[in-house]
Structure 1
Amino acid sequence: MSTISMHLVEVVITNKKGVKDPEGETIHKHLILRKGYSEVVSVRTGKYILFSVNAPNPEEATKIVREICEKLRIYNPVVHDIEVRIRG
């Protein structure tokens, strides 16, 4: 018999390599380079979502969240990469 517990599952959505990131480019050009942080080569932005999921284990919680993201089209797989992971 499995015990159900709450798991925090993080989702990070970013543009795929080769897809323009105007917000990241603006941060890099206007905020970083103008302030003298020439060591920073590039900036990519994305979206962060945190789910609280009741599941028997972290793997099942991650599976549930990945399914939600795909079925509800929380991201566009044509232009976005997605990372789903347990917080901690």
Structure 2
Amino acid sequence: MAIFNVHVTIENKPGISDPEGDTILNDLVLKGPQKSVSKIKTAKMLKFTIEENDKKSAQSKVKAICDELRIYNPMVSKVTLDVFTA
């Protein structure tokens, strides 16, 4: 068994509004010196540490946990899982 870090990034699918990203862009970035920024998208990241046999098992287990606990809405969210050796 090995220990893995699994980063789960949850962001809106293309076409779904991101009011938080729009607010950051309009209220913070464009009012400052960073006029070249045209879009900001926000995301949530969960960081799991898990003990499994291999990277694929670690990724599958964390995905199952997220699905079972309904951590994200699959209708509007895009989920990316990245696995690293701890």
TM-score (norm 1): 0.91
| Residue 82 (structure 1) aligned with residue 84 (structure 2) | no
Aligned to 1:66: 63
Residues 87 and 33 of structure 1, relative CA distance in 2, 3 Å threshold? farther
- Secondary structure, in 3 states, of the residue corresponding to 1:78? coil
In the aligned structure 2, how far is the partner of 1:43 from the partner of 1:15?
12
Aligned to 1:19: 16
- CA RMSD for the aligned pairs? 1.1
Runs of at least 5 residues in structure 2 that lack an aligned partner in the other structure: none
The share of aligned pairs that are identical, in percent, is 34
Paired AA for residue 46 in structure 1 = A
Q: CA deviation at 1:46?
A: 1.2
Aligned to 2:4: 7
Q: Which runs of 4+ in 1 moved over 3 A?
A: none
User: Mean Cα displacement is larger for which, 36-45 or 76-85?
Assistant: 36-45
| Residue 54 (structure 1) aligned with residue 51 (structure 2) | yes
Q: CA deviation at 1:33?
A: 0.6
Runs of at least 5 residues in structure 1 that lack an aligned partner in the other structure: none
In the aligned structure 1, how far is the partner of 2:78 from the partner of 2:36?
26
TM-score (norm 2): 0.93
Q: CA deviation at 1:59?
A: 1.2
